[in-house]
Amino acid sequence: MLIAITRPVSPSIERCQLTHLAREAIDLSIARAQHRAYEDRLAELGCRVLRLPVEPDLPDSVFVEDTAIVLDELAVITRLGAASRRPETDAIARVLAACRELFHIEPPGTVDGGDILRVGRTLFAGLSSRSNETGIEQLRTHVSPFGYTLKPVEVRGCLHLKSAVTQVAQGTLLINREWVDGAAFGDAELIDVDPSEPFGANALLVADAVVYPRAHARTRKRLEGRDIAVEAVGMSELAKAEGGVTCCSLIVEI
């Protein structure tokens, strides 16, 4: 069974952390409607959605992916790169403790879950403004005994590694090579985003389908041209908070 852990859009999302985007007004009602539609799509794809309570004082709390790295045998509770976001992990840790052995990233390490891309037994770890070498080495220590290999990857020009590259099928990655070096991913087949859609590399693979932002129509056609089933969702408001489709859920197999 797949569990999708989500959290509603905070009423304070206008105060979200921003690194690479200029601040724009976020329509809270539209953001919430888009998020509910996203949850509905996950349910249609076979996930049981576990919706945590809203966090009015945590503007970025809808982006639950950043709070943990969930693997088959363990979960690592992160120490987020933005200090204001660190209280977000408390509720996530309580939920995950029921189904995984927990490990924690400790100071001075920082890791955001959006910087960790799992492909099989390999974890690609983005060195970004939110995840540092100390945190990534702690992550390596936690996961290595369980048979995972960790490979650090330099990230440039975007918030997280998964802003630049995500998995869209077995052995296939969607990538923006302006933000990450494609050679880092070895023999993986790479699908390039359309040059006009630099933010189009963030996609969420669930079962045999890819949940994908409706806004990136040209890149979507590239995916469909490879016979990848794409489930389009609206993400316009959360994108203003540097959010994407991977950010808004933690997918846990139990």
Concerning whether 216 is annotated as a catalytic residue, the answer is no
Q: Give the CATH number for residue 174.
A: 3.75.10.10
168, 200 Cβ separation under 8 angstroms = no
The whole-number pLDDT of residue 133 equals 98
Q: Given the residues 35, 142, 160, 216, select the one marked as catalytic.
A: 160
Cis, peptide link before residue 108, omega less than 30° from 0:
yes
The whole-number pLDDT of residue 218 equals 98
Structural domain containing residue 200: 2-253
The whole-number pLDDT of residue 51 equals 98
| DSSP secondary structure, 82-124, as one string | SGGGGGGHHHHHHHHTTTSEEEE--TT----GGGEEEETTEEE
Complete edge-to-edge strand list for the sheet that includes strand 2-6? 47-51, 2-6, 250-253
Concerning whether 99 is annotated as a catalytic residue, the answer is no
Instruction: Say how many domains are in the chain.
Output: 1
The whole-number pLDDT of residue 32 equals 98
51 dihedral zone (left: phi>0; alpha: psi -120 to 50; beta):
beta
The whole-number pLDDT of residue 58 equals 98
The whole-number pLDDT of residue 90 equals 97
This prediction's pTM = 0.97
Sign of CA dihedral 149, 152, 153, 156: positive
Q: Given the residues 16, 47, 247, 248, select the one marked as catalytic.
A: 247
Distances (CA, A) of 54 to 60, 98, 248: 11, 21, 13
The whole-number pLDDT of residue 228 equals 98
The whole-number pLDDT of residue 160 equals 98
The whole-number pLDDT of residue 98 equals 96
The whole-number pLDDT of residue 237 equals 98
- Which portions of the chain are predicted below pLDDT 70? none
Over residues 175-210, the pLDDT tens digits come to 999 999 999 999 999 999 999 999 999 999 999 999
Look-up of token digits 């016979």: 227
For 85, the token pair is: 């976001």
